[in-house]
């Protein structure tokens, strides 16, 4: 399992909330990315948390600066709605792009990106909220329901050409109470592409909980931002899960 630092950014500040609400500033995205890189993080995901308000991604300058000093794969998401947007993100230094709203509004956009840049470049972002005994996909930073069932939508995204899924639990986001394991199990079972789980990690025990399901990547936000655990402590816990890392 890869350790992935997730940095949600608003107006050049990393922010964090609970259930995508009550956002508060927690630091500078470039400095935090450099710090996590120095500590040994495997990847970094930058998400423009307010891209839907501007209909465009405002992270390009942040990505450009970060990519000069951070040498792990960088994914950027939020407000990417055209091939021109994708091109600018990749030119700024991103290795992969995460797409949510644009894919829901135009599923063929995933295929278009994959054909032009390769499936390995396309991260299908799913914001999942529990509805009864199932989960519904949301868009516009977790504010708008889509009517799409998460498990079926994840398989469709794979078929469209996505090379990876960023699966975020709105219910667990920021709670530090652990991942939505049934959600992860449901999606990880039906798709054959890597799945990154995001939302809920509050300590290293929550990574241990993933031993049987084994997602490809684990996104860490609050637990790193608030210095609850270090990346090295997570790596030590992963060693016990993976054997030799």
Give the separation between CA 93 and CA 116, rounded to whole angstroms: 17
Q: What is the mean pLDDT of residues 82-93?
A: 96
Contacts of 230 (CB under 8 A, 6+ apart): 39
Say whether pLDDT at 30 is over 50.
yes
Confirm if 48 and 13 have CB atoms less than 8 A apart. Answer: no
Give the separation between CA 60 and CA 86, rounded to whole angstroms: 11
Say whether pLDDT at 227 is over 50.
yes
What is the per-residue pLDDT for 55? Answer: 64
The 10s digit of each residue's pLDDT in 177-188 is 999 999 999 999
pLDDT band at 245 (very low <50, low <70, confident <90, very high): very low
**DSSP assignment, residue 221?**
S
Domains and CATH numbers, the chain: 2-242 (3.20.20.70)
Please tell me whether residue 46 adopts helix, strand or coil conformation: strand
The 10s digit of each residue's pLDDT in 192-211 is 999 999 999 999 999 999 98
Q: What is the mean pLDDT of residues 35-64?
A: 88
What is the per-residue pLDDT for 23? Answer: 72
For residue 33, give Cα distances in angstroms to 7, 19, 130, 195, 219.
8, 23, 31, 22, 14
Of 21-25, 109-113, 130-134, the poorest mean pLDDT is in 21-25
Give the separation between CA 65 and CA 44, rounded to whole angstroms: 14
What is the per-residue pLDDT for 53? Answer: 63
What is the per-residue pLDDT for 244? Answer: 43
Say whether pLDDT at 243 is over 70.
no
Give the separation between CA 191 and CA 188, rounded to whole angstroms: 6
pTM of the predicted model, to two decimals? 0.94
């Amino acid at each position: 399992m890869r350790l992935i630092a997730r940095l949600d950014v608003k107006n050049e500040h990393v922010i964090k909330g609970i259930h995508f609400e009550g956002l508060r500033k927690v630091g500078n995205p470039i400095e935090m990315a450099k710090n996590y890189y120095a500590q040994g993080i495997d990847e970094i995901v930058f998400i423009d948390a307010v891209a839907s308000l501007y209909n465009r991604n405002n992270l390009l300058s942040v990505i450009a600066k970060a990519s000069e000093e951070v040498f792990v794969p960088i994914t950027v998401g939020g407000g990417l709605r055209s091939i021109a947007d994708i091109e600018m993100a990749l030119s700024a230094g991103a290795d992969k792009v995460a797409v949510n709203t644009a894919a829901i509004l135009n599923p063929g956009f995933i295929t278009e990106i994959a054909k032009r840049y390769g499936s390995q470049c396309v991260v299908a972002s799913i914001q999942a909220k529990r509805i009864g005994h199932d989960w519904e996909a949301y868009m516009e930073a977790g504010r708008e329901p889509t009517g799409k069932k998460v498990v079926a939508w994840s398989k469709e995204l794979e078929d469209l050409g996505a090379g990876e899924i960023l699966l975020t639990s709105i219910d667990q986001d920021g709670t530090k109470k652990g991942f939505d394991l049934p959600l992860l199990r449901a999606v990880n079972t039906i798709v054959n592409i890597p799945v990154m789980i995001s939302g809920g990690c509050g300590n290293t025990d929550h990574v241990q909980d993933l031993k049987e399901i084994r997602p490809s990547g684990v996104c860490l936000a609050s637990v790193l931002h608030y210095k609850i655990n270090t990346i090295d402590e997570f790596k030590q816990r992963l060693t016990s899960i993976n054997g030799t890392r």
